[in-house]
Amino acid sequence: MFSDPVKNLKALGLRETDIVADLGAGTGYYAIAAGHIVTKGKVYAVEIAEDFLHTIKNKTKEAHLSNVEILWGDVEKIGGTKIGDGIADAVIASNVLFQVEDKDGFINETKRILKPKSKVLLVDWSSDSPLMGLKHSVHKDKAREMFEKKGFVWQRDIDAGAHHYGMILIKN
């Protein structure tokens, strides 16, 4: 996997009562790790691929986590996550930006569900990844620029692991 969800989530600074949305949750690496951190909070694991939703469900059961809610949703459309307006303390966007076709739609949905001054953990494949190649990855500077155009403020970069970049952005 090349990237350590627990280490990256520690950099985000989650609190045990936070409400977190893992957008494009995949097989649940970040959602499960976040569920262990926000023990008195909640994690929404949003994914469009049905098979992955079943995988996340099995992983949450194995981990004895009752604070992870699994949602089928489209992270590229306003309202597509089925999460209410302004309720999330943090959004996790790991290895999803390169995949979404409507990047503006994704950022707008991220912004919609976040509380003011809340954080986004953006982790994605860097252009040096042997798995992605230059044609699929979104360069770190371009990703930051896209979020800043939508009113987010860059807080800092993080070491997100081999072949990844990571940053924390704040909803302004």
Domain boundaries, the chain: 5-171
Strand 68-72 and strand 42-47: the pairing is parallel
Range of lowest pLDDT (99-108, 118-127, 131-140, 159-168): 131-140
5-171 classified as CATH 3.40.50.150: yes
Using alpha carbons, select from 152, 142, 55 the residue that is nearest to residue 110. Answer: 152
Q: Which amino acid is at 162?
A: A
The pLDDT value recorded for residue 131 is 61
The whole-angstrom separation of Cα 147 and Cα 96 is 14
Is pLDDT larger for residue 1 or for residue 126?
Answer: 126
pTM for the model: 0.94
Tokens 């045990």 correspond to what residue?
16
Whole-number mean pLDDT of the chain?
A: 94
The answer to whether the beta carbons of residues 97 and 103 sit under 8 Å apart is yes
Please list, residue by residue across 32-52, b when 16 or more beta carbons sit within 10 angstroms of its beta carbon and e when fewer do: bbbbebbeebbbbbbbbeeeb
Range of lowest pLDDT (29-43, 50-64, 75-89, 128-142): 128-142
Residue 134 above 90 pLDDT? Answer: no
pLDDT digits (tens, 9 = 90+) for 8-60: 999 999 999 999 999 999 999 999 999 999 999 999 999 999 999 999 999 99
Strand 114-125 and strand 164-171: the pairing is antiparallel
